[in-house]
Amino acid sequence: MHNNIPAKIRSEDIVRLTRELVRIPSPNPPGLESEVSDFLASKMKAIGFKVQSYEVSPGRPNVVGHLRFGSGGKRLMFNGHLDVVPIGDRSLWDEDPYSGILKDGRVYGRGTADMKGGIASIIVAAKALADSSSDLHGDLIFAGVVDEESHGSGSKRIVKEEYKADMVVIGEPTDKKICIAHKGNMWLEITTQGTAEHSSQVRVGKSANAIYRMVKIVSLLEEMLPGLQEIQDDRVGNPTISVGTIEGGTKPNVVPDVCKIVVDRRMLPGEDPKKVLEELKARILPVIMPEFDAAFKILIAREGAQISPDEEIVKIASKSIMEALKIPPEIGGLGATTDMSFFVRAGIPTIIYGPGSIKQAHVANEFIDVDELTNATKVYAAIAANTFSKSSR
Ligand SMILES: [Zn+2]
């Protein structure tokens, strides 16, 4: 039906835009998305999008473009986050992480896979549709959001605004799969208190060492993993728990009065962070008390999400993969946490589908295959064309 659209998609255009985006650093923390946001605004205007930008927090603007086809029709939103994680240890990178170098059929650099390549694919697909003469009806929305890599404040704001999308496609890397579920995560800070004194004065039963106290809690947390591994979800696997950081003490000769850890607990779709915390306390507190108490504070809580495989967007995406790539679609889930949950909780059916692999996210020498970019762009164009074609209205 829309055979003229994929023919308009050229790998060079996607590669060029991916490289341009990678060359504008947008690390979070601290959250420097404004330059890439402005750049995308001008790119979209040139294609014919109506563009709005607004700050989610000072200096951190979401950018939203609308591309109108015909009259009526569905409202399809593509969502991509503008931020990237910091480069980490520069010495682990073979090339400048922000150079976007093209080598052996791959583009290298921070954000190539997660997820400036996905954004480039969406924009080039939208241009191919805008340039086509197909009879299409609907509203293609691109939401470029800030802050996905920490609190998701960009997409939270999008859900509150008046875009009222009928369905959403998030362009995070999914290893060719249509993901209809993802895990949630909770960062939980636990603090133990002790009493500071000179280390030469310690006495059994009298001294209170905050690190010793924390060690007991850490062992209890470690013992929770086997039980969690037994809980299996078909799409996203099992919940996990891991102690990521520990901090305590000031000097070797002072008994530490404070120790803090941060626990990363990955949750299945449907798990409630508050209940997870209650279960965790119920496991820990009876063992440590009355000897000592501990304080628990949720730093980040982002729920998992899932939708039914029978949703229209899943069917449209499946059909589009068949048409555009001539391969059978694979439906799965993502272990990582994404902005999908905000949209699903607002009642908007949402899938995650995007070029590249999640294994390339957050690592040194991050890359994306040019073939992956080209294929995802063709699929995005087909998803939009199928959503906006008269037959599917
Ligand atoms: Zn991402």
Q: How far is Cα 45 from Cα 58, in angstroms, rounded to an integer? A: 23
What range does the domain containing 230 cover?
A: 184-302
DSSP 11: H
Distance 362 CA to ligand 1 centre (A): 9
pLDDT at 150 over 90: no
Distance 225 CA to ligand 1 centre (A): 26
**Mean of pLDDT values over 171-183:** 97
Q: How far is Cα 310 from Cα 313, in angstroms, rounded to an integer? A: 8
Q: What are phi and psi of 344, to 5 degrees?
A: -65, -40
171 - beta bridge partners?
none
Q: What are phi and psi of 108, to 5 degrees?
A: -105, 145
Q: How far is Cα 81 from Cα 79, in angstroms, rounded to an integer? A: 7
pLDDT at 1 over 60: no
Distance 114 CA to ligand 1 centre (A): 4
Q: Are 120 and 17 in contact (CB under 8 A)?
A: yes
Distance 172 CA to ligand 1 centre (A): 5
Q: Give me the count of residues in the chain.
A: 393
**313 lies in the same domain as 346:** yes
pLDDT band at 393 (very low <50, low <70, confident <90, very high): very low
Write down the pLDDT at residue 108. Answer: 98
Q: How far is Cα 369 from Cα 103, in angstroms, rounded to an integer? A: 10
Distance 315 CA to ligand 1 centre (A): 24
Tokens at 199, concatenated: 């280390």
Write down the pLDDT at residue 3. Answer: 56
Last residue of a domain, one of 258, 286, 302: 302
pLDDT at 271 over 90: yes
Output the domain CATH number for residue 364: 3.40.630.10
Q: How far is Cα 35 from Cα 41, in angstroms, rounded to an integer? A: 10
Distance 24 CA to ligand 1 centre (A): 16
Last residue of a domain, one of 302, 331, 349: 302
Q: How far is Cα 254 from Cα 200, in angstroms, rounded to an integer? A: 9
Distance 235 CA to ligand 1 centre (A): 19
Percent of the chain that is helix, strand, coil (3-state, to 5): 35, 25, 35
pLDDT band at 275 (very low <50, low <70, confident <90, very high): very high
Q: Are 348 and 167 in contact (CB under 8 A)?
A: yes
pLDDT band at 162 (very low <50, low <70, confident <90, very high): confident
Q: What are the DSSP E strand ranges found in the chain?
A: 50-57, 60-69, 74-81, 102-103, 106-108, 138-145, 167-170, 178-182, 184-193, 240-248, 258-267, 294-302, 305-306, 331-334, 350-352, 367-369
Distance 81 CA to ligand 1 centre (A): 7
Element (H, E) at 159: helix 153-160
Distance 365 CA to ligand 1 centre (A): 16
**266 lies in the same domain as 378:** no
Average pLDDT, the chain: 95
What's the N-to-C CA distance of the chain in angstroms? Answer: 14
**Mean of pLDDT values over 354-374:** 96
Q: How far is Cα 248 from Cα 246, in angstroms, rounded to an integer? A: 7
**95 lies in the same domain as 197:** no
CA distances from 225 to 72, 230, 236, 264, 305 (A): 51, 9, 16, 12, 22
Distance 297 CA to ligand 1 centre (A): 26
**139 lies in the same domain as 27:** yes
Distance 125 CA to ligand 1 centre (A): 19
**124 lies in the same domain as 273:** no
**362 lies in the same domain as 382:** yes
Domain count, the chain: 2
Last residue of a domain, one of 256, 274, 302: 302
**Mean of pLDDT values over 173-197:** 97
pLDDT at 287 over 60: yes
**Mean of pLDDT values over 235-243:** 96
**Mean of pLDDT values over 321-333:** 96
pLDDT band at 2 (very low <50, low <70, confident <90, very high): low
Distance 67 CA to ligand 1 centre (A): 24
pLDDT tens digits, one per residue of 105-149? 999 999 999 999 999 999 999 999 999 988 999 999 999 999 999
Could you tell me whether strands 184-193 and 305-306 are parallel, antiparallel, or unpaired per DSSP bridges? unpaired
pLDDT tens digits, one per residue of 44-97? 999 999 999 999 999 999 999 999 999 999 999 999 999 999 999 999 999 999
Distance 149 CA to ligand 1 centre (A): 7
Write down the pLDDT at residue 343. Answer: 96
pLDDT band at 8 (very low <50, low <70, confident <90, very high): confident
Write down the pLDDT at residue 164. Answer: 83
Write down the pLDDT at residue 161. Answer: 81
pLDDT at 35 over 70: yes
Distance 190 CA to ligand 1 centre (A): 27
**388 lies in the same domain as 317:** yes
| Omega before 252 within 30 of 0, i.e. cis | no
**28 lies in the same domain as 13:** yes
Distance 361 CA to ligand 1 centre (A): 7
Q: What are phi and psi of 79, to 5 degrees?
A: -125, 130
CA distances from 81 to 172, 187, 368 (A): 8, 21, 16
Output the domain CATH number for residue 196: 3.30.70.360
Q: What residue type is assigned to position 188 of the chain?
A: L
Q: How far is Cα 148 from Cα 60, in angstroms, rounded to an integer? A: 12
Write down the pLDDT at residue 134. Answer: 87
User: Which single residue is written with the structure tokens 């994306």?
Assistant: 368
**33 lies in the same domain as 139:** yes
**359 lies in the same domain as 273:** no
**172 lies in the same domain as 90:** yes
The C-alpha angle 40, 354, 237, rounded to 5 degrees, equals 135
**53 lies in the same domain as 146:** yes
